[in-house]
C-alpha cells in the first residue's frame, strides 16, 4: 500500500526553506521530512501509472519511486531559491517528485521499445485527384493531406510520434537528445500550421472550430 500522510509523519516546518538551508539538527530533520514527502509523492505517481509497467510488481514500483524521490530531492534543493511561497511548500515539493516519477515510469515502459520517426510526406499525396478530394472531405483525411503540405519534415515526424504513435513526450525527447519543452514547442507550431491550412481550405471555421465551408 502507498503510505498515508499520517504513516510518514509529515508534520511540516513553518519555514521549510530556512530549515533546509541552515546547517544543524533542524536541517537534518527537515531533510528527512522532505525525503519522506518525496517518497510519498513518487509512490503515488508510480502507482497511478502502474498499468504501464505490465509484468512488474511492487518491487519495481518501490525501486522507481525511491530512485525518483532521491533525484527529486536533489533537483528541489538546487531550486530552493525559486520557491516564492505562492503555494504551500509541500505542494511545491510534490510536483518535483511527481515529474521525476512519471518520467521514470514512462522511460521504463518504453525501455524495450523502438521509436521510429516516419515521415508521412512520403506516402501522403499533397495534390489529390478530384475523387480523392471528395473522399477527403472528413477532417481526418484533410488533416493527413494538410500534414503533407503544411508541415516541415521535422514537424511531421514529431507530430506523428507524439499524437499518432503516442510516444511519451519525455521518452521522445530523451531518444532525440532534446527537451520536453522543445518538442512541445515544435508540436505547438505544427498544430498552428495545420489549423491555418485547414481554415484556408474550408475544413475548419475561421474561429478554428470544426465545420468550415466543406
Partner 1 sequence: MTRPGRLTDEAAQLLTLSTEPWLSCEDCFRLMDTFVEAVLVDPDTTAFPQMRVHLRGCGACAEEAASLLDLLVEDRGSH
Task: Using the minimum distance from each CB to partner 1, give the nearer residue, 25 or 38.
Answer: 38
Q: Does 90 bind partner 1 (CB under 8 A)?
A: yes
Which residue, 30 or 100, has its beta carbon nearer to partner 1? Answer: 100
Q: Please give the torsion angle defined by the CA atoms of residues 113, 116, 156 and 99, in that order, rounded to the nearest 10 degrees.
A: 30
Residue 9 in the binding site for partner 1 (CB under 8 A): no
| Cα–Cα dist 100/74, whole Å | 11
The CA distance from 8 to 11, in Å, is 9
Nearer to partner 1 (CB atom), residue 14 or residue 25? 14
Residue 19 or residue 159: which is nearer to partner 1 going by CB?
159
168 binds partner 1 (CB under 8 A): yes
Give the whole-angstrom CA distance, residue 53 versus residue 61: 8
d(CA 193, CA 145): 13
Q: What are the percentages of helix, strand and coil residues in the chain, rounded to 5?
A: 70, 0, 30
Helix (H, G, I), strand (E, B) or coil at 202: coil
Determine, following the binding rule CB under 8 A, whether residue 102 of this chain makes contact with partner 1.
yes
Give residue for cell 525518483.
68
Q: From 15-23, 28-36, 55-63, 81-89, give the range in contact with partner 1 by CB under 8 A.
A: 81-89
CB of 99 to partner 1, least distance (A): 6
Work out whether 160 is an interface residue with partner 1 (CB under 8 A).
Answer: yes
**Residue 99 engages partner 1 in binding (rule: CB under 8 A):** yes
The DSSP code sequence of 66-84 is: HHHHHHHHHHHHHTGGG--
Mention every residue, 6+ apart, whose C-beta is less than 8 A from residue 117. 157, 158, 160, 161
- Answer for which of 31, 49, 53, 80 binds partner 1 (CB under 8 A) is 49
Residue range at the interface with partner 1 (CB under 8 A); choices 16-24, 28-36, 62-70, 155-163: 155-163
Rounded Cα distance between 168 and 184, Å, is 11
Q: 141, 149, 152, 176: which one contacts partner 1 (CB under 8 A)?
A: 141
Which residues are near partner 1 by CB under 8 A? 4-6, 41, 44-45, 48-49, 86-88, 90-92, 94-95, 98-99, 102, 106, 116, 118, 120, 123-124, 138-144, 147, 159-160, 163-165, 168-170, 180-181, 184-185, 187-188, 190-192, 194-195, 198, 204, 208
Amino acid at each position: 500500500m502507498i503510505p498515508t500522510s499520517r504513516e510518514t509523519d509529515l508534520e511540516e516546518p513553518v519555514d521549510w526553506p530556512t530549515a533546509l538551508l541552515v546547517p544543524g539538527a533542524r536541517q537534518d530533520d527537515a531533510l528527512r521530512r522532505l525525503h519522506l514527502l518525496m517518497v510519498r509523492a513518487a509512490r503515488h505517481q508510480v502507482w497511478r501509472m502502474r498499468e504501464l509497467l505490465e509484468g512488474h510488481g511492487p518491487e519495481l514500483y518501490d525501486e522507481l519511486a525511491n530512485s525518483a524521490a532521491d533525484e527529486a530531492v536533489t533537483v528541489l534543493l538546487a531550486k530552493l531559491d525559486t520557491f516564492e511561497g505562492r503555494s504551500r511548500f509541500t505542494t511545491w515539493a510534490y510536483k518535483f517528485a511527481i515529474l521525476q516519477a512519471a518520467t521514470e515510469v514512462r522511460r521504463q515502459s518504453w525501455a524495450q521499445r523502438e521509436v521510429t520517426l516516419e515521415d508521412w510526406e512520403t506516402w501522403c499525396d499533397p495534390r489529390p485527384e478530384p475523387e480523392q478530394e471528395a473522399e477527403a472531405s472528413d477532417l481526418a483525411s484533410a488533416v493527413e493531406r494538410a500534414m503533407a503540405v503544411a508541415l516541415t519534415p521535422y514537424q511531421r515526424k514529431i507530430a506523428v510520434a507524439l499524437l499518432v504513435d503516442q510516444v511519451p513526450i519525455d521518452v521522445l525527447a530523451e531518444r532525440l537528445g532534446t527537451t520536453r519543452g522543445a518538442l512541445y514547442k515544435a508540436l505547438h507550431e505544427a498544430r498552428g500550421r495545420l489549423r491555418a491550412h485547414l481554415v484556408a481550405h474550408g475544413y475548419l471555421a475561421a474561429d478554428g472550430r470544426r465545420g468550415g465551408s466543406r
